[in-house]
Amino acid sequence: MSKKAPTNHLRAWREFRGFTQEGLASSVGTTAAVISLLENGQRGLSASWLDRLARPLQTSPGFLLDHHPGDLTAELLDLWASIPTENQPKAIKALRSLSKDKTGT
């Protein structure tokens, strides 16, 4: 029987940032059991959960769903996390100007 692919990358992000389930739970005001349910897809990751979890994991809510941290360079992730939310659209525009695809599609 093949193992089912994860529905999110929460566990990978937690481990990448050096958190235990207990530590992450404490930082977002829940229990390790809830973190386990979220990681295993037994409890859905709502927009509210994604927002709560992204902060201590120093990433964006969407990255928890779409990107395994091992697929991205740590330097890029840390740099992105250091950019204030209000400046992120400017950062995207600057990166697009350097990329081959300048259409934003």
Q: What is the pTM of this model?
A: 0.71
pLDDT score, position 78: 80
**CATH code for the part of the protein at 1-71:** 1.10.260.40
For the residues 82-87, what does the mean pLDDT come to?
88
Distances in whole angstroms, Cα of residue 20 to Cα of each of 11, 70, 90, 104: 9, 18, 34, 37
For the residues 29-52, what does the mean pLDDT come to?
96
CA dihedral 80, 84, 87, 88 (to 10 degrees): 30
